[in-house]
Structure 1
Amino acid sequence: MLDSLFNRLEEVFPEIVEFRRDLHMYPELSHTEVNTPKKVAEYLTSLGIDVKTEVGGRGVVGTLKGGKPGKTVALRADFDALPIQEETDLEFKSRVPGVMHACGHDIHTAGLLGVAKVLSEVRDEIPGNIVFIHQFAEEVIPGGAKFMVEDGCLDGVDVVYGAHVSSANPLGQINLKEGEAMACGDTFEIKISGKGGHAASPHLGVDPLVVGSQILLNLQPIVSRQVNPVKPAVVTVATFQGGDSFNVIPDTARLAGTVRTFDADVRDLIEASIEQIATSTANALGAKIEYNYVRGYPAVVNDPAETKRVERIATKLFGEEKIKHISKQMGMEDFAYYLLEKPGTFFWVGGKVEDESKVFPHHHPRFDVDEKSMLYIGRLFLATVFDYLNE
């Protein structure tokens, strides 16, 4: 049966490419998605799949009921874009100024719709149900997954799988990681209040830029000297703002950044240490701070059994040479919220383009991937669904 499904996926490939390119031309930012979920819902409805819209806010959930009783598998794709001006030479490049699909979410969405179409045509032979989760706002904390889970998108689901295309890995390579796979992702902001004045008379004020510089440097030993070196952690200040004139010391400055961890105790330690260091540094230099720490996505922890299942299936489909076991990474993904509720696994599928000069990382204005990655994602989803339901 799988061979016929794979052949059918090949036949509908031009259709899902067309859908993907439409999404790519008209991207929508996190929490502002209007037309994208509408298109997704209309497509699923046209397949005779039960559809719920506005799940958790802007999410779309389609449920395909099989002709035979059985368990329920959920498959997830995200559909939000990024605030980036596209710089590719693609014919279907973004038509929306300052917004582009620079992470492959258009690939995920169209690829999952292709899977939905193929499965909808054999629903009578499916021993169970399949839930298609089309998620909004993966790119922005707190993420759409949290709200979709709270709104019941996993009700009745037994297992959940997710895939992410990778522009850096060869086409069709499957990257897997059992257990801890992606880090918790938090954000912090430090607002510094000093006393501005003339740049020629710094002794009459309190320079928030100097204070901010000291805070930035003083944060570095948190990871190198406070955190157990066998426990991964990242503290990065990515924003330092203050002043707009060469001869004026500003009244305020602002630092902002991110914290990545796996261990709960390390997470607590870093949150408290940033505040303590920022406060004491500012006090020593005569300034004051406002500190805001926001806890973002939990860690992605893949179920070992389900990860082994995907590995076994992928090896059979694509060959052992296509399988790569990777180390845990400090990037974050709100797929973690689904895994807090249900067993499952999140894996990566290579989509590197043939022309090396056009290979760029995710979130880059010249990002692009091979659309044939949707076939690899689709085959692996299809085979995994039937393996699980027939178990």
Structure 2
Amino acid sequence: MFNIHEDAKKYEEYVIGLRQEFHRHPELSDQEVWTSGRICEELDKMGIPYTRVAGTNVVGLIDTGRPGKTIAFRGDIDALPVHEEANVPFKSEIDGLMHACGHDSHAAMVLGAARILNDHKDELSGKIYVCFQKGEEVGIGARDIVEYLKEQGGVDKAFGLHIAANLPTGFISLTEGPSMAGACNWQVVVKGKGGHGSMPYASIDPIKPLAEILLRVTSLMVNRMDTLEPIVVSPCYFHAGTADNIIPETAEMRGTIRYFKEEALDRTLELVEQISRDIAASYDATATLTYSRGKTIPVDNDAASIAAAREVVENIDGLTAIQAPKLMGSDNFADFVHAFPGFYCFMGAGFDGPDGSLPNHHPRFTLDEKAFRLGVEFLTGCAVKFLGE
């Protein structure tokens, strides 16, 4: 068998260079035209055939020509509407957009692993799908790829990794079972009666009841829910009015609920609706709750796949597996591990310094480039192991 460690070192500068190129050219979710085109250029150079799926998703296929397992691994490719403040020589060239979550590195590492596996496909059996997903930040793209893979006959294993700046380089979090929360977006609209700011008695102000609703729904986790069941209710948007002397007709609040169990989400939505309705009625106003559930479900890692991934880590110098607590963050790679056995994990890329551990989505988000070789080695090692099972 080929030496994965040496091949990862061989292509380390290739991966770093690609990541920096992607970083300079960020694109928003479902707008990754340049990025997906650049990925296709690299796959063309490698001689890896690919299919564009539902727009800017790209799925490449490394077919060894011999019967065996079929696997898939993914890198997401979209960026964020964040103005970059990081002082790096490959800073974003597009004002107001930034790869502030590491998706640039995911795409580069998947290409690096694909290059190694394609170089040695004569020594392997089975098929490998390398997936580049659009729109993860807005919860799209994954299901399109999953449906495409099902149309091709499905896969035996699906896996992926996410870079983490708040975890030092050299550590990888491999967690069995539920590891990331599902996400449900919600909206409450309170309707009152508009009027002049000087005569509130002649109007029904929707702002006051909505403000009270905000405070009440954020206390649900303590007062109304099982404290041992992780639930997060976060109002993140509040809008009302157009001028300082006009009482508006409506006021709107939007937010997110993060959860692990469907019944906990059911109960939370029931309580948010009840609280909103009752508080609004006490002001002679009305409240309407709308929500979108099922768009991003919890990530539930297959225990056997995690055990196998831990064995891969044991053979990678400089990498240590840990089991981190559940994360209330969400990722629609959940669709992959819901459809196929597999896992999703977090690889450390933090380093010492003032910007070495800033969280994802921060305008000064930076990564330790030494982590990328470890990521390529891990992805390649998992691919080889799962093909050989």
Which interval holds the TM-score relative to the shorter structure?
over 0.9
The one-character-per-residue Cα deviations of 1:281-335 (angstroms, maximum 9, x if unpaired) are: 112211123321011311000000110111122123236x822111111110101
Shift of 1:226: 2.9
Q: Is the 8 A contact 2:276 2:288 kept in 1?
A: no
Q: Is the 8 A contact 1:74 1:131 kept in 2?
A: yes
Instruction: Provide the residue aligned with 1:180 in structure 2.
Output: 178
Instruction: Provide the residue aligned with 2:29 in structure 1.
Output: 30
Distance 1:56 1:150, change over 3 A: farther
Q: Is the 8 A contact 1:56 1:150 kept in 2?
A: no
Q: In 2, Cα distance between the equivalents of 1:225 and 1:198?
A: 37
Query: Any residues of structure 2 matched to 1:88-107 within 5 Å, and which?
Result: 88-107=86-105
**What's the secondary structure of 2:90's corresponding residue?**
coil
Distance 1:12 1:317, change over 3 A: closer
Shift of 1:358: 4.5
Amino acid corresponding to residue 99 of structure 2 in structure 1: H
Instruction: Provide the residue aligned with 1:355 in structure 2.
Output: 353
Distance 1:39 1:357, change over 3 A: closer
Shift of 1:353: 3.0
Instruction: Provide the residue aligned with 1:69 in structure 2.
Output: 67
The one-character-per-residue Cα deviations of 1:148-206 (angstroms, maximum 9, x if unpaired) are: 21233673311011001100111121111100000110100112222233333222211
Amino acid corresponding to residue 145 of structure 2 in structure 1: M
1:119 to 117, 139, 142: 117
Q: Is the 8 A contact 2:149 2:155 kept in 1?
A: no
**What's the secondary structure of 2:332's corresponding residue?**
coil
Instruction: Provide the residue aligned with 1:336 in structure 2.
Output: 334
The aligned length equals: 387
Q: 1:152 aligned to 2:132?
A: no
Q: Is the 8 A contact 2:178 2:299 kept in 1?
A: yes
**What's the secondary structure of 2:166's corresponding residue?**
coil
Instruction: Provide the residue aligned with 1:369 in structure 2.
Output: 367
The one-character-per-residue Cα deviations of 1:77-113 (angstroms, maximum 9, x if unpaired) are: 1000001111111111111111110000000000110
Q: Is the 8 A contact 2:299 2:337 kept in 1?
A: yes
Identical counterparts, % of pairs: 34
Q: In 2, Cα distance between the equivalents of 1:124 and 1:132?
A: 17
**What's the secondary structure of 2:304's corresponding residue?**
helix
Q: Is the 8 A contact 1:56 1:149 kept in 2?
A: no
Q: In 2, Cα distance between the equivalents of 1:2 and 1:244?
A: 66
Instruction: Provide the residue aligned with 1:308 in structure 2.
Output: 307
**What's the secondary structure of 1:18's corresponding residue?**
helix
Query: Any residues of structure 2 matched to 1:72-83 within 5 Å, and which?
Result: 72-83=70-81
- Give the structure-1-normalised TM-score: 0.95
Distance 1:16 1:357, change over 3 A: closer
Q: Is the 8 A contact 1:282 1:289 kept in 2?
A: yes
Q: Is the 8 A contact 1:81 1:101 kept in 2?
A: yes
Q: Is the 8 A contact 2:32 2:134 kept in 1?
A: yes
Instruction: Provide the residue aligned with 2:383 in structure 1.
Output: 385
Q: Is the 8 A contact 1:353 1:368 kept in 2?
A: no
Shift of 1:248: 2.9
1:324 to 276, 301, 322: 322
Q: In 1, Cα distance between the equivalents of 2:146 and 2:119?
A: 28
Shift of 1:67: 4.6
**What's the secondary structure of 2:142's corresponding residue?**
helix
Instruction: Provide the residue aligned with 2:207 in structure 1.
Output: 209
Instruction: Extract unaligned runs of 5+ from structure 2.
Output: none
* Displacement over 4 Å in runs of 4+: none
Distance 1:151 1:386, change over 3 A: closer
The one-character-per-residue Cα deviations of 1:27-60 (angstroms, maximum 9, x if unpaired) are: 110011111111111211221112101x133210
Q: In 2, Cα distance between the equivalents of 1:155 and 1:349?
A: 30
Shift of 1:266: 1.0
Shift of 1:2: 4.3
Instruction: Provide the residue aligned with 1:194 in structure 2.
Output: 192
The one-character-per-residue Cα deviations of 1:218-241 (angstroms, maximum 9, x if unpaired) are: 213432233222211111111111
Q: Is the 8 A contact 1:67 1:126 kept in 2?
A: no
Q: In 2, Cα distance between the equivalents of 1:307 and 1:389?
A: 15
Amino acid corresponding to residue 300 of structure 1 in structure 2: V
Measured on the aligned residues, the alpha-carbon RMSD in Å equals: 1.7
Amino acid corresponding to residue 226 of structure 1 in structure 2: R
Instruction: Provide the residue aligned with 1:247 in structure 2.
Output: 245
Q: In 1, Cα distance between the equivalents of 2:31 and 2:343?
A: 28
